[in-house]
């Protein structure tokens, strides 16, 4: 007897959700899909563990968009700092040549 056909992840997810929502038991799902109850139980455990890991990772690690924005903020902060230094240098240079400005009091 050969192996049964592989069930796509999307279908496994629908089956597990049906079991979790109480629409059918693990035994009913196994009979309907012609797989073992152990397989359904393993899918359910994997699904719950994956959800738990996803929630934990969501709190611990920023999304790629958040990382991109944080990098952009760092770049802009650096550019702003450099511009402020340049302005101070130009202002000092102008004061040494022209004397203090009325606004620098």
0.85 exceeded by pTM:
no
Per-residue pLDDT for 54 more than 90?
A: no
Q: What's the pLDDT at 102?
A: 66
Cα(93)–Cα(104) distance, rounded to whole angstroms? Answer: 13
pLDDT category at 105 given cuts 50, 70, 90 is low
The answer on pLDDT for 23 being more than 70 is yes
């Amino acid at each position: 007897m050969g192996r049964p056909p592989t069930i796509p992840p999307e279908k496994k997810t629908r089956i597990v959700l049906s079991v979790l929502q109480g629409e059918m038991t693990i035994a009913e799902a196994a009979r309907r899909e012609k797989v073992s109850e152990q397989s359904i139980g393993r899918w359910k455990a994997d699904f719950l563990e994956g959800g738990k890991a996803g929630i934990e990772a969501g709190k611990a690690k920023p999304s790629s968009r958040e990382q991109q924005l944080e990098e952009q903020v760092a770049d802009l902060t650096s550019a702003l700092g450099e511009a402020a230094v340049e302005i101070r240098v130009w202002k000092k240079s102008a004061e040494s040549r022209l004397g203090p400005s009325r606004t620098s009091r």
